[in-house]
Structure 1
Amino acid sequence: MSMLTRRRLLRRAALSATATAGDGPSPAVTTAVAAAPATSCDTTTGPDVDPQDATAAPGLRFPRDFGWGAATSAYQIEGAAKEDGRGESVWDTFSRTPGRTRNGDTGDVAADHYHRWAEDLDLMRDLGLRSYRFSISWPRIQADGTGQPNQRGLDFYRRLVDGLHERGIAPMVTLFHWDLPQSLEDAGGWENRDTAYRFADYADAVFQGLGDQVPVWLTVNEPKTVVQNGYLWGHHAPGRQDPEAAYLVAHHLQLAHGLAVRALRAGDSDARIGPALNLHPCYPADDTPGAAAATRLYDGYENRLYLDPILTGAYPADVLADLGEGSRLARGIADGDLEIISSPVDLLAVQYYTPIYVTADGTTTRRWSTSEADWQQIYPDGMYDVLTRVTRDYGPVPITVTENGLPCPDVLGPDGTVDDAGRVAFLRDHFAAAHRAIAEGVPLESYHVWSLLDNFEWDQGYDQRWGLVYVDYATQRRVLKRSAHWYRGVIRDNGL
């Protein structure tokens, strides 16, 4: 990789704001558009939106048995960081390193879900959730990332899965949501090809431990965010800025996905399995040929680098050419890898938060109002564009939306309620965009709001609140926000 390519990739990492919601933003450097001022949560599609109209119902009905749900991840909510045999993860190390997270916050306690899981499942039941997407903590199952599984860890997740079934909620389990065991990081982490094989062993242990009680498995959550935020920009664990390593990491994460798919297929399981990818629609910032060409390459790094190998069995040629034939990614592809990575999947999990507008020189610009996360432009039509693009380009693979939401400046009012009208308006508009995609033939099966609970927001600590449910961290009291009450009605009516 040339020094020019290295500098360009580092600049792209700074510009792209690719970390997604629940998943921590990068401190994006963009050229602001004067007509699109930064906004609070009370604005969705533009400065003239009236939050008082947020509950207006356009009369849209979703398919029968549509899977309305919510999502979380282990490190962001569980806490109990040193209990019942759990080992250290890269996020334990990263968050405890001074200067890495806002206010020095860690996930040591988070929302204390490990101890309050039954209460949280009751909240889900009361909301009427039909599906709950959560993740397994790898170091809770294997403290050092290898060997026999920790039975106490498996027992926790078995109680959680059984409790969901008792309440009529379908579990959707993510195997990896970024909490790599620190012992594996010490041995090279995702830069080490062997980590993909250790992941397959871990996945197999979880498949065996939870048996047939999990109908849907997701393998790797947002490999792009690990690559860009963890290895290009460095503001997520493991905190690197190394383009040479970054795209080799991308390959090993996708190899891990494929190996986990094969591990499930090797057993006698009727469960479904697929990856969870954060997709950002990329648009030219103007009508020039240069902007169109730059946007195509940008889309390659943002989307096709992850979609293509899984769904077509090949990496995009333009990205490989841009990296160079001597890149560590190109040199790291062994015979048979792409066959493993493209092992047939049963569904694709899509996570959407923001569009990206690309100029002719490869920089980005802001077109729409933003949420409290300044990397997130509010553009509901991007949901429609992402969903229809997947179906158009890759065929009718079943899709689940596993993350979509925004942070709001939520506070408890004098009457003990939280009035997050902006979140209601945001979700209403994105649900409507998803409905339009379904009407045009997209096989969308379910939709999971990010997030069920306020939680540890990675490098942003606890300053940003993304949940339907307010968490008073001092007391761990849960309070349903206005958006939660509204969402309960959406689920009850199966529509808007």
Structure 2
Amino acid sequence: MKYAFPDNFWWGSASSALQTEGAREGETTWDYWFAREPNRFHNGVGPQHTSTFYQHWKTDIQLLKQLNHNSFRTSISWARLIPDGIGEVNPEAVDFYNQVIDELNEQGITPFMTLFHFDMPMAMQEIGGWENRDVVEAYARYAQICFELFGDRVLHWFTFNEPIVPVEGGYLYDFHYPNVVDFRRAATVAYHTVLAHAKAVQAYRAGHYAGEIGIVLNLTPSYPRSQNPADVKAAHIADLMFNRSFLDPVLRGEYPADLVALLKAYDQLPACRPEDSALIAEGKIDLLGVNYYQPRRVKCRDSAVNPQAPFMPEWFFDSYEMPGRKMNPYRGWEIYEPGIYDILVNLRDNYGNPRCFISENGMGVENEQRFIENGQINDQYRIEFISEHLTWLHKGISEGCNCLGYHMWTFIDNWSWCNAYKNRYGFIQLDLKTQQRTIKKSGEWFAATALNNSFEKE
């Protein structure tokens, strides 16, 4: 069967500054943390070991063209552009980003730019990071500078990538710096991120730029174990905390009333100012990027909460390991292709069918060298992963969902936070020693799919 996609569908991939560029002048939280706790990083490999996009951007963009990308998302590094977060703009960074943007446009690859992809300048973290409203103001200034410098040639902007992740990682579950476990502080970070987002949107609108502005959210549909009311309620609360805490403000301009009521009941609400709600209402977006990797399966708690334990989302639900689920064993994530369809239907039915696209979807696999045949990685599993997700995406589009494209994570195997190079995600294999790039089987498949704007599947 042939699956054809709408005209002008965005075919491409996504990456980020910190994971690809390499060393920069301004220190980020990642540089700082790695210098102090290298043991927290897989094989002790830190953020200086990236896929060297800063040196190889021109040939890498040629590879994007070879993969028939018509669009590509990456991010601007705040710490590269403004090393201390608030001071002088680094002219070398401006030159670099200008060259990248111009080359992408010249090659017919539309640049999608993210302003913040987990890479807080350390100078900003030292004054409290997103807990401090001064950092919100500094970010708004940084966003404004980016729009002024590049807004004539970048027509698709994203304020944040997966803003829930720094909240979870840095302030709830201790897998990102600053390694805090404190729900109220997490709620403050999330709230101030929404304010920062809204200020950037406000600045973009005020500048009357030619393009559009949005945000990229990792949406993990929450599925209850059963239709028992206790399980359904558990899934609803998980959805409120991990999806709707950002989805509702950016699409509806306000927070879900039941999330506010829940946090209020447990005295976990962040400090709000009277003018905040009008600002949040101004943060409504033009375009939503959806990162989808896995579902969240939950059930009601079987045991009572220890009242002495720190307040956590898990006070309201337990994770549920569904029997027979399909797993990616290297990442420990469930593979559930219909989730991508369920997200789109939810956006269509409950959020006014916003313009959206799949901004990330991907499969990380360990030790891919074992699949080399005739000098090329034969990653048939990745081709199956993509085509299965695209089948469900196609179904959503055929039922009226307003999805405009599909970007894969990622185009070249890159450094991945605490996991370094443990799992490889790229269409293109990276040899860490030589930095040589070799297109995998999935890259060839994707290039053909993008060229034909369709694929065949039995």
Q: Same fold (TM over 0.5)?
A: yes
Post-superposition shift, 1:320? Answer: 2.3
Structure 2 SS opposite 1:324:
helix
The 2-side partners of 1:258 and 1:428 are apart by 35
Cα distance, 1:95 vs structure 2? 2.6
AA matched with 1:131:
S
1:278 aligns with 2:213: no
1:108 aligns with 2:108: no
104-113 or 403-412, which deviates more: 403-412
1:226 lines up with 2:183 in the alignment: no
Kept in 2: contact 1:90–1:185 (CA 8 A): yes
The question of whether the paired residues in 2 share the 8 Å contact of 1:154 and 1:206 is answered with no
Distance 1:353 1:414 in 2: 28
The answer for the alignment partner of 2:5 in structure 1 is 62
- Does 1:407 pair with 2:347? no
Identity %: 37
Find the aligned partners of 1:326 and 1:247 in 2 and give their Cα distance: 12
Match of 2:199 in 1: 259
CA distance 1:326–1:356, change in 2 (3 Å): closer
Query: In structure 1, what is the Cα distance between the partners aligned to 2:321 and 2:260?
Result: 28
Q: Which of 256, 266, 280 is residue 341 of structure 1 equivalent to?
A: 280
| CA-to-aligned-CA distance 1:162-210 (integer Å, 9 cap, x gap) | 0001111000000000101000000011111111111010011111111
1:161 is aligned to 2:120? no
**Quick one: higher RCO (CA 8 Å, sep 6+), 1 or 2?**
1
Secondary structure in structure 2 of the residue aligned to 1:245: helix
1:423 aligned residue:
382
Q: Please give the alpha-carbon distance, in whole angstroms, between the structure 1 residues aligned to 2:272 and 2:206.
A: 24
Could you list the per-position Cα deviations for residues 118-152 of structure 1 after superposition, in whole angstroms to 9, with x for gaps in the alignment? 11000001111000000011100110100231111
Output the CA distance in 2 between the equivalents of 1:132 and 1:331.
Answer: 36
> More strand per residue: 1 or 2?
2
What are the ranges of 5 or more consecutive residues in structure 2 without an aligned counterpart? 302-316
Task: Give the corresponding residue for 1:71.
Answer: 14
Asked whether the equivalents of residues 225 and 320 of structure 2 are also in contact (C-alpha less than 8 Å), the reply is yes
> Do the aligned residues in 2 keep the contact of 1:309 with 1:338 (CA within 8 Å)?
no
CA contact (8 A) 1:369 1:377 kept: yes
- Alignment partners' CA distance in 1, 2:2 and 2:439: 25
Match of 1:463 among 413, 416, 422: 422
Quote the residue 1:88 is aligned against: 27
* Residue aligning to 1:376: 333
The verdict on how the C-alpha distance between 1:360 and 1:463 changes in structure 2, with shifts beyond 3 A counting, is: same
The answer on whether the counterparts of 2:9 and 2:404 sit within 8 Å (CA) in structure 1 is yes
- Offset, 1:373: 4.3
Q: Which moved more, 1:270-279 or 1:239-248?
A: 239-248
Counterpart for residue 307 of structure 2: none
Question: Normalization by structure 2: what TM-score?
Answer: 0.92
Aligned partners of 2:415 and 2:421 also within 8 Å: yes
Instruction: Name 1:438's counterpart in structure 2.
Output: 397
**Matching residue within 353, 361, 364 for 1:396:** 353
* Aligned residue pairs, count: 434
Q: Look up the equivalent residue of 1:218 and give its one-letter code.
A: F
Amino acid at match of 2:113: V
TM-aligned CA deviation for residue 325 of structure 1: 5.1
Matched-pair contact (CA < 8 Å) for 1:67–1:445: yes
The one-letter code matched in structure 2 to 1:395 is: G
Shift of 1:414: 5.5
Provide the residue aligned with 1:204 in structure 2. 144
TM-score normalized by structure 1? 0.85
**3-state DSSP of counterpart to 2:377:** coil
Partner of 2:124: 184
Question: Are residue 317 (structure 1) and residue 260 (structure 2) matched?
Answer: no
3-state DSSP of counterpart to 1:132: strand
Q: Which residue is equivalent to 2:187?
A: 247
